[in-house]
Amino acid sequence: MTTLAHNNVEHHHGAGDHVHVDYPERPIEYQTQDGALKILGFWVFLATDLILFACLFATFIVLRTHTDGGPTGKELFDVPIFTAETLILLTSSFTGGLATFEMHRGHRNRVIGWLIITALLGLSFVGLEVNEFVHMAMEGATMQRSAFLSAFFTLVGTHGCHVSLGILWMTGIIIQLFQRGITPITARKVYIVNMYWHFLDVVWVFLFTIVYLMGVM
């Protein structure tokens, strides 16, 4: 929660549950000054997260041939599985976008519905990924086997952890929407979690290309 830099708005109420609107003319998620700051702050955070992934990608690219005589990507990656993962995640990004769309139209229940679908799609993505990891490990392809596998599990696993965190976060926001409806504060939360979700989708596109497609080629 932030303070006001500009003291040009009337304050008739204490804070607390009451939502104070600074900029009624803006889209709902930007209506409080705090909301606007947090959205910008989150954009900046995503930039740092992108660099974090870039470092992991660089590490993976350096180590992808370092298989130490162990299994290679070509032997391990299962085309139908990672294609399914990709389709599921792309779809979830779309349903997440629909939630934002309905939020701007003020339909609380539809926002909640689309968010639940998004989270469920995310959950099935994580489920597929965990299944994939377990199968690899059972075949002896663990992250201790070679530098390539260390880099693979860390890069893909970091993305998977991000998705899992996103699901938990989204669940929290769904509950808050039930409790409070669409307010400038809950709207900002829906907006930011969607930014995060789309970002993970973008990262996955690179993962899909660099790790999986280039791995099986």
Partner 1 sequence: MFRRLPAHLGKISAIVAAATVLLTGCSPEYAVLNPVGPVGKTEEHLIILSAILVAIVVIPVLILLAIIVYRYRDKPGNRAPYSPEWVDSKTLEYVWWGIPIIIIAILGAFTAKTTFSLTKPPEANVKPITIQVISLNWKWLFEYPDQKIATVNYCEIPTGVPVQFELTSDAPMNSFWIPQLGGQEYTMPGMAMRLWLQADKPGKYNGYGANFTGAGFAHMNFQAVAVSQSDFNAWVKHVKTSSPVLTKAGYNELKKDGLAKEASYSAYPPGLFNGVVMQNGGQYMYGSQTPSNSNSTKNSSGNMSNMNMDMSNMNMGH
Partner 2 sequence: MNTVPHWGIFITEPMILGSDVMIVLTSVAIVFALTKFKKWGWLWREWLTTVDHKKIGIMYMIAALLMLFRGGVDAELMRTQLALPNLSFLDAEHYDEIFTTHGTIMILFMAMPFVFALFNIVVPLQIGARDVAFPYLNAISFWLFFFGAFLMNISFVIGGSPDAGWTSYPPLSELGFSNGPGQNYYLLALQISGIGSIATGINFLVTILKMRAPGMTLWRMPLFTWSVLATSILILFAFPALTIALALLLLDRTLGTHFFTMLHGGNPMMFINLFWIWGHPEVYIVILPAFGVFSEVISTFSRKATFGYGSMVFALVAISIVGFLTWVHHFFTMGAGADVNTFFAIATMVIAIPTGVKVFNWLFTMYRGRIRMTLPMMWAVAFIPCFAIGGATGVMLAVAPADYQYHNSYFLIAHFHQVLIGGTVFGMIAGMYYWWPKMFGFLLDERLGKWAFWFFNIGFYVCFLPQYALGLMGMTRRIYTYPAGLGWTVPNFISTIGAYLMGIGFLFIVWQVIYSVKYGERDVTGDPWDGRTLEWSLPSPAPHYNFATIPTIEGRDAWWMAKQGQLDKNAFLPKKSDIKPIHMPKNSGRPFILSICFFIIGIGLVFGVVPFDVIGGLGVAFCMFRRSFEYDTDYYIPVDEVIHTESALGRLQG
Q: By CB under 8 A, name the binding residues for partner 2.
A: 1-7, 10-11, 14-17, 20, 36-38, 40-41, 44-45, 47-49, 51-52, 54-56, 58-59, 62-63, 66-68, 143-148, 150-151, 153-154, 168-169, 172-173, 175-176, 180, 185, 189
> Among partner 1, partner 2, none, what does residue 146 contact (CB within 5–8 Å per kind)?
partner 2
Is residue 180 involved in binding partner 1 (CB under 8 A)? no
Alpha-carbon distance of 9 to 37, in angstroms, equals 17
Burial (CB count <10 Å: 0-12, 13-18, 19+), residue 21: middle
Residue indicated by tokens 């990507």: 73
Is residue 214 involved in binding partner 1 (CB under 8 A)? no
Is residue 65 involved in binding partner 1 (CB under 8 A)? yes
Q: Which is nearer to partner 2, 33 or 95 (CB)?
A: 33
CB of 101 to partner 2, least distance (A): 23
Q: Which helix (H) or strand (E) holds 81?
A: helix 79-104
Cα distances (angstroms) measured from residue 208 to each of 27, 88, 103, 124, 155: 34, 13, 31, 17, 11
Is residue 210 involved in binding partner 1 (CB under 8 A)? no
Rule CB under 8 A: choose which of 40, 52, 62, 205 binds partner 1.
62
Are the CB atoms for 67 and 61 separated by under 8 Å? no
Are the CB atoms for 217 and 79 separated by under 8 Å? no
Is residue 66 involved in binding partner 1 (CB under 8 A)? yes
User: Where on the chain is the footprint of partner 1 (CB under 8 A)?
Assistant: 61-62, 65-66
